[in-house]
Amino acid sequence: MDENKDLPFPSQAPVSEKSEHNEHYSDEARSGRESAPVPEPADSHLERRETFTAWCNSHLRKAGTQIENIEEDFRDGLKLMLLLEVISGERLAKPERGKMRVHKISNVNKALDFIASKGVKLVSIGAEEIVDGNVKMTLGMIWTIILRFAIQDISVEETSAKEGLLLWCQRKTAPYKNVNIQNFHISWKDGLGFCALIHRHRPELIDYGKLRKDDPLTNLNTAFDVAEKYLDIPKMLDAEDIVGTARPDEKAIMTYVSSFYHAFSGAQKMSRHAKVDKGLREQLALGLSIVQMGTLRPSVPVAEPRPSHLPYVFFPWQSQAWEVLALLEWIRRTIPWLENRLPENTMQAMQQKLEDFRDYRRVHKPPKVQEKCQLEISFNTLQTKLRLSNRPAFMPSEGRMVSDIHNAWGCLEQAEKGYEEWLLNEIRRLERLDHLAEKFRQKASIHEIWTDGKEAMLRQKDYETATLSEIKALLKKHEAFESDLAAHQDRVEQIAAIAQELNELDYYDSPSVNARCQKICDQWDNLGALTQKRREALERTEKLLETIDQLYLEYAKRAAPFNNWMEGAMEDLQDTFIVHTIEEIQGLTTAHEQFKATLPDADKERLAILGIHNEVTKIVQTYHVNMAGTNPYTTITPQEINGKWDHVRQLVPRRDQALTEEHARQQHNERLRKQFGAQANVIGPWIQTKMEEIGRISIEMHGTLEDQLSHLRQYEKSIVNYKPKMDQLEGDHQLIQEALIFDNKHTNYTMEHIRVGWEQLLTTIARTINEVENQILTRDAKGISQEQMNEFRASFNHFDRDHSGTLGPEEFKACLISLGYDIGNDPQKKTGMMDTDDFRACLISMGYNMGEAEFARIMSIVDPNRLGVVTFQAFIDFMSRETADTDTADQVMASFKILAGDKNYITVDELRRELPPDQAEYCIARMAPYAGPDAVPGALDYMSFSTALYGESDL
């Protein structure tokens, strides 16, 4: 649009947010042929619904109607078609007046077809969704209408609709502080943008200087109230919703702002035409009008002399006098038609009157409005031109004045307003009658369908053969029916109330309505009586069955544990007991006596349980109750209880006899235990004592080895003589095994322990005698003196702290060290000559500790079976070998000669190659240079070194 070309400030490019949502509707605003917008999520529907409702009402009120609920009031399509006719100025196809769904869908389709004819492609919006009241589809359709008829035609500097509207807002609000319009959501939250638009065009309406940015509610309400009161822009937004929302709904804001655009753009067009040059143009126009106008005398009365300055001129008002008269005559004829209040008896006739009135509003009245406006403009233009030409004002004759037109037009509009209100009221009245009659028929039909078969159901006697659970289910079902019946009470009352109202409004078919209503009421009373009668019968039957059920439950609660007690008793009485002591059989006997003491009380409980069953039988026979089955809580019958009780009484004496026999057997077993225990408690300690005495003999150093051997042989003879007692103990043990006796509290010794001890005693005495004999052989063979043997024995005994006759690895190592033995890394072979390994060992023996390797070698000698212990005999064998074998200087020289490759000297490189680094450096530092005839540079004399090694100590 070109009204912005004369703006006093530079244009601003509109800035909009490029979210997917905005781009979608911006594209739709650019072209009316784009697809309709898809409804958005429900969180923005409330604000948008209020705005769209107000926008629709701003147009519908021109046709004398409005909507309350946007998704409900457009469902029949009538007001939707009326809205499109108002905003487009075109007539749509005649709507369907029926109430059926097919009629509603037809009307909505006509509206949608009209929208599509305007170049709008509707996607995912169908008539069925609008008729069903789909709020998302309805709001999407209204937004499509707003885009097409209120926003699409907006264009500023060849921009799209949305961008043009935004640019127009930016230009209009640019001079105002604290206003920065960049979009159609958060830029409007403080309300200053709305106030700035109003102040820019109507500064007298708002004092902009008193507005504060920190008071958005006041700003928004001020703008909304002023726009509604003075600009005829309805209040489409809620100030609290805008302030309380992080991002106001963009569509709602655009809809409301477009109303400002249309309100102000029309006024600007009219004011801009008045801004032409006031000098020459006005004079030329006045002269041209005088030349072109018809003859008319001025407003001075004819009888009076004409002033010399006022010539006879032609005025247009005289030429348009016939138009004034014609307009007044049309108003005079129309007012009686509008004041006619004779009602019609049918809805169709009243709707035809409304159609005639709509034709009047759309067809007949608009040209007259144009005529009236043109006459007022001509009159005002004439008066202005006369005033600017310093000429007297023109005064029309009586009955043809502008005020006459205004007065007549006011009477016309007053009659029009009253006629429209009367038409709508009459239509509403007839609609209500039709609605009430249809509502009565619907509610009556629904009620009759609901009551169908209910009387037969209430007369059933199915409770007579029902179980308690079935009775309770029937009661629940009956309670649900009573609740349903109570709920239908409102429907019956509504039916009666509707019938009453139809009678009061003189409905033509009142007799049939009254007859049907009376039938429904009589049937309702009968249903109430049958319902009460069935409830009493159900409750009476329930009480009897509950009594029986309680007795059944008590019988089951007492019969089940009693039955379990009897089954447990029978199981215990028949159970084969296994006991091993006299105490156990005494405990079983005591428990059995206690059980027999409970039998009288158990018999009383049995009789009480049978009494409960007899009471149930009595109630059934007295009240003629038709029992559908047996006890639901248990399958135990009185016959079963009596049979098991008799069986228990038969098993008691059998148990007495079995316990008596077992008691005699356990007494015999106890005598066997005591006999075995007495012998075991003597033999066991004797074996232990002998083991300790033999150990002391092998460890202590009293006398010579021959004395120890003699002493040991005496011990061996006494042990052999003790064998008959062992045989007697074996015989007692055989009797215990035959009697299946597995434990004996009279002794801690078992036959197995005594056998093992006896065998160890025999083995120990034989091994000890053998060790002493071997020690004698070793002593004699190695030439070890008695003092050395005593020394070895003393060291061994010292480290044998547990007196076990053996040494562990660490004890053995400590014992070797105490005897002056250095433990090296590698073993020394004593073969009479020294190879490389022998030579290494020789060097080690000169002062190098060899660590764990050597000790491992020694352990492999003294403990070849890897038992982890060293016996004294192995210790003596090792020590005798170590004290007997020694290396000589010749052996050391022979080893060096092997390392030197049979030369009389050895080089530094050979030493370092053949020996470990520390040993090689030791030899290099102490060997003298070789001075023989075959000497080479760096040759060393290993012969003098070996001689000195075994002769002197300065090395």
* pLDDT on residue 282: 47
* pLDDT on residue 44: 60
Task: Give the C-alpha separation, 741 to 733, whole Å.
Answer: 10
| Residue 132 pLDDT exceeds 70 | yes
Which tops the pLDDT comparison, 234 or 781?
A: 234
Task: Give the C-alpha separation, 309 to 152, whole Å.
Answer: 55
Q: Greatest CA separation found in the chain?
A: 192
Task: Give the C-alpha separation, 816 to 820, whole Å.
Answer: 7
| Residue 601 pLDDT exceeds 90 | yes
Confidence of residue 700 (pLDDT cuts 50, 70, 90): low
Identify which of 821, 932, 839 has the alpha carbon closest to the alpha carbon of residue 890.
839
Task: Give the C-alpha separation, 454 to 382, whole Å.
Answer: 86
Q: At what angle do helices 101-117 and 135-146 cross, to 10 degrees?
A: 30
* pLDDT on residue 155: 65
Read off the tokens for 498. Answer: 């509707």
Average pLDDT for residues 389-395, to the nearest whole number?
Answer: 74
CB 582 within 8 A of CB 667: yes
Half-sphere exposure of 674 (CA within 13 A, CB side): 8
Confidence of residue 804 (pLDDT cuts 50, 70, 90): low
Task: Give the C-alpha separation, 767 to 702, whole Å.
Answer: 19
Which tops the pLDDT comparison, 578 or 498?
A: 498
* pLDDT on residue 926: 86
Helix (H) or strand (E) holding 758: helix 751-782
650-688 confidence digits (pLDDT tens): 988 888 888 888 888 888 888 888 888 888 898 889 988
| Residue 709 pLDDT exceeds 70 | yes
| Residue 39 pLDDT exceeds 70 | no
* pLDDT on residue 449: 92
409-437 confidence digits (pLDDT tens): 989 888 888 888 888 888 887 888 888 88
Backbone angles phi, psi at 871, to 5 degrees: -80, 165
Task: Give the C-alpha separation, 543 to 795, whole Å.
Answer: 103
Does the CA dihedral 856-860-866-868 come out positive or negative?
A: negative
Mean pLDDT of the chain: 78
* pLDDT on residue 299: 36
Torsion angle, CA of 493/494/496/502, rounded to 10 degrees? 160
| Residue 314 pLDDT exceeds 50 | no
* pLDDT on residue 491: 87
Residue 886 corresponds to which amino acid?
T
Which tops the pLDDT comparison, 513 or 157?
A: 513
Which tops the pLDDT comparison, 352 or 392?
A: 352
Residue 799, Cα to own-chain centre: how many angstroms?
73
* pLDDT on residue 701: 58
Q: At what angle do helices 751-782 and 872-884 cross, to 10 degrees?
A: 10
Confidence of residue 526 (pLDDT cuts 50, 70, 90): very high
What percent of the chain stands above pLDDT 70? 79
Q: Per mean pLDDT, which range of 312-321, 526-535, 620-629 is the poorest?
A: 312-321
CB 790 within 8 A of CB 814: no
CA angle in degrees (0–180, nearest 5) for 730-731-732? 90
Confidence of residue 699 (pLDDT cuts 50, 70, 90): low
pTM attached to this predicted model = 0.31
Residues 6+ apart with CB under 8 A from 28: 34, 35, 36, 37, 147
72-81 confidence digits (pLDDT tens): 898 898 989 9
Which residues is 940 bridged to in the sheet? 906, 929
* pLDDT on residue 194: 93
Task: Give the C-alpha separation, 530 to 304, whole Å.
Answer: 103
469-500 confidence digits (pLDDT tens): 888 898 899 889 888 888 888 889 889 999 99
204-236 confidence digits (pLDDT tens): 999 998 899 999 999 999 999 999 989 888 888
CA angle in degrees (0–180, nearest 5) for 794-796-827? 125
Q: Per mean pLDDT, which range of 290-294, 872-876, 934-938 is the poorest?
A: 290-294
Confidence of residue 292 (pLDDT cuts 50, 70, 90): very low
State whether residue 539 is helix, strand or coil: helix
CB 21 within 8 A of CB 247: no
* pLDDT on residue 216: 93
Residues 6+ apart with CB under 8 A from 256: 51, 55, 233, 236, 237
Q: Tokens 């559908």 correspond to what residue?
A: 628
What percent of the chain stands above pLDDT 90? 13
Task: Give the C-alpha separation, 405 to 320, whole Å.
Answer: 13
Confidence of residue 268 (pLDDT cuts 50, 70, 90): low
Confidence of residue 851 (pLDDT cuts 50, 70, 90): low
| Residue 288 pLDDT exceeds 70 | no
Count Cβ atoms below 10 Å from residue 162 Cβ, excluding itself.
25
Which tops the pLDDT comparison, 734 or 395?
A: 734
Confidence of residue 565 (pLDDT cuts 50, 70, 90): very high
Confidence of residue 515 (pLDDT cuts 50, 70, 90): very high
Read off the tokens for 301. Answer: 């009365």
Question: What are the start-end ranges of the H helices in 38-134?
Answer: 45-60, 70-73, 78-88, 101-117, 127-131
| Residue 250 pLDDT exceeds 70 | yes
| Residue 862 pLDDT exceeds 80 | no
Q: Per mean pLDDT, which range of 22-31, 375-384, 441-450, 586-595 is the poorest?
A: 22-31
811-821 confidence digits (pLDDT tens): 777 777 766 56
153-197 confidence digits (pLDDT tens): 676 666 677 888 898 999 899 889 889 999 999 999 999 999 999
Q: Which of 105-114, 269-278, 771-780, 781-790 has the highest mean pLDDT?
A: 105-114
Which tops the pLDDT comparison, 904 or 2?
A: 904
Confidence of residue 6 (pLDDT cuts 50, 70, 90): very low
Question: What are the start-end ranges of the H helices in 624-750?
Answer: 638-699, 705-721, 723-738
Average pLDDT for residues 46-64, to the nearest whole number?
Answer: 86
Read off the tokens for 576. Answer: 């084969």
Q: Tokens 């097409």 correspond to what residue?
A: 148
| Residue 920 pLDDT exceeds 60 | yes
| Residue 892 pLDDT exceeds 90 | no
Read off the tokens for 444. Answer: 């009556």
Task: Give the C-alpha separation, 199 to 223, whole Å.
Answer: 10
Torsion angle, CA of 610/616/622/628, rounded to 10 degrees? -130
Confidence of residue 45 (pLDDT cuts 50, 70, 90): low
Confidence of residue 803 (pLDDT cuts 50, 70, 90): low
Count Cβ atoms below 10 Å from residue 848 Cβ, excluding itself.
17
* pLDDT on residue 340: 86
Residue 428 corresponds to which amino acid?
R
Read off the tokens for 225. Answer: 């109230």
Q: Tokens 């709305």 correspond to what residue?
A: 194
Task: Give the C-alpha separation, 849 to 830, whole Å.
Answer: 19
